[in-house]
């Protein structure tokens, strides 16, 4: 089966711009072209795009996916590198969960600074945000 990029986008539930980006980044092999220069994708493109989308749904980075794809191309190779990569990814997810839990507690602490109905001028939340006292150490933190 050969499909154009719009049909591939529908089949894979992936935006056309994302498919083009994956091609540009080397995650998807370059498709063949029709006589009218349209990209033509085959079953292997569909399968590979679905594989990439599944990896992305697990929040894997493009670099991690590139590595997995290159390892996948050598099926007889030991999978220790895949295991190590997934272990590192799990640690990264655990760290982000801990950071989000800390943020959540911080927000709850901030929320407690303004109970009941008050005017904006006396709102403890806005005052804490303005003077930086909303941070446990009194210093504003940059999050990025």
CA dist., res. 82 & res. 46, Å (int): 23
Last residue of a domain, one of 77, 110, 134: 77
Q: How many domains does the chain have?
A: 2
pLDDT tens readout for residues 5-44: 999 999 999 999 999 999 999 999 999 998 999 999 999 9
| Whether 138 and 99 share a structural domain | yes
CA dist., res. 21 & res. 73, Å (int): 21
| Whether 116 and 62 share a structural domain | no
| Whether 1 and 67 share a structural domain | yes
pLDDT tens readout for residues 59-78: 999 999 999 999 999 989 99
CATH of the domain at 34: 1.10.1660.10
Residues 51-58 have a mean pLDDT of: 96
| Whether 70 and 84 share a structural domain | no
Beta strands in the chain (DSSP E): 32-33, 39-40
Contact 26, 34 (CB under 8 A): no
Domain containing 84: what range? 80-144
């Amino acid at each position: 089966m050969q499909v154009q990029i719009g049909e591939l986008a529908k089949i894979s539930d992936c935006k056309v711009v994302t498919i083009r980006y994956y091609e540009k980044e080397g995650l998807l092999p370059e498709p063949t072209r029709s006589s009218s220069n349209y990209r033509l994708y085959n079953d292997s493109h569909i399968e590979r795009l679905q594989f990439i989308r599944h990896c992305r749904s697990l929040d894997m980075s493009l670099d991690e996916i590139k590595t997995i794809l290159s390892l996948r191309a050598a099926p007889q190779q030991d999978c220790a590198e895949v295991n190590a990569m997934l272990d590192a990814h799990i640690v990264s997810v655990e760290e982000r969960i801990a950071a989000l839990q800390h943020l959540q507690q911080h927000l709850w602490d901030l929320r407690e600074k303004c109970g009941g109905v008050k005017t904006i001028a006396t709102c403890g939340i806005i005052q804490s945000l303005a003077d930086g006292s909303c941070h446990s150490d009194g210093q504003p933190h940059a999050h990025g």
